[in-house]
Structure 1
Amino acid sequence: MTAVTIIGAGNLGGAVAALAAKAGAQVQVLARDPEKAHTIAAPLGADAGTLGDHLTGDIVVLALPYHAVSAVLDTYAGALAGKTLVDVTNPVDFATFDALVVPADSSAARIIQDAVPQATVVKAFNTNFGATLATGTAGPLATTVLIAGDDQAAKQAVAGLVTAGGLRAIDAGSLKRARELEALGFLQLTLAAGGKTPWTGGFALVG
Structure 2
Amino acid sequence: MQITIFGKGNMGQAIGHNFEAAGQTVTYYSSKDQATTFGDLIVMAVPYPALAALAKQYATELKGKIVIDITNPLNFDTWDSLVVPADSSAAQELQKQLPDSKVLKAFNTTFAATLQSGQVNGKEPTTVLVAGDDDDAKHQLAQALAGSPLQVKDAGKLKRARELEAVGFLQMTLAASEQIGWDGGFAVIK
Map 1:40-119 onto structure 2 (within 5 A).
51-119=33-101
Q: In structure 2, how many angstroms separate the alpha carbons of the residues matched to 1:104 and 1:55?
A: 35
For 1:190, the equivalent position in structure 2 comes to 173
Q: In structure 1, how many angstroms separate the alpha carbons of the residues matched to 2:7 and 2:110?
A: 16
> Quick one: which amino acid aligns to residue 147 of structure 2?
A
Q: In structure 2, how many angstroms separate the alpha carbons of the residues matched to 1:59 and 1:81?
A: 12
Q: Share of identical aligned residues, percent? A: 48
Q: In structure 2, how many angstroms separate the alpha carbons of the residues matched to 1:137 and 1:58?
A: 26
For 2:132, the equivalent position in structure 1 comes to 149
- How many pairs does the alignment contain? 189
Q: SS state of the match for residue 146, structure 2?
A: helix
Kept in 2, the 8 Å contact 1:147–1:159? The answer is no
Q: In structure 2, how many angstroms separate the alpha carbons of the residues matched to 1:113 and 1:162?
A: 23
CA RMSD of aligned residues (A): 1.0
For 1:8, the equivalent position in structure 2 comes to 7
Q: Is 1:162 aligned to 2:145, yes or no?
A: yes
Q: In structure 1, how many angstroms separate the alpha carbons of the residues matched to 2:33 and 2:161?
A: 26
Q: Is 1:131 aligned to 2:113, yes or no?
A: yes
For 1:181, the equivalent position in structure 2 comes to 164
For 2:22, the equivalent position in structure 1 comes to 23
**1:202 Cα deviation (Å)?**
1.1
Q: In structure 2, how many angstroms separate the alpha carbons of the residues matched to 1:55 and 1:180?
A: 32
Kept in 2, the 8 Å contact 1:52–1:75? The answer is no
Kept in 2, the 8 Å contact 1:92–1:101? The answer is yes
Cα shift readout 1:51-105 (whole Å, capped 9, x = no counterpart): 2221331100000110111111122121101110000000000000000000010
- Unaligned runs of 5+ residues in structure 2 are none
Q: In structure 1, how many angstroms separate the alpha carbons of the residues matched to 2:59 and 2:136?
A: 23
Give the TM-score, by structure 2 length. Answer: 0.96
Kept in 2, the 8 Å contact 1:145–1:162? The answer is no
Q: In structure 2, how many angstroms separate the alpha carbons of the residues matched to 1:159 and 1:52?
A: 28
> Quick one: which amino acid aligns to residue 100 of structure 1?
L
**1:165 Cα deviation (Å)?**
1.4
Kept in 1, the 8 Å contact 2:38–2:61? The answer is no
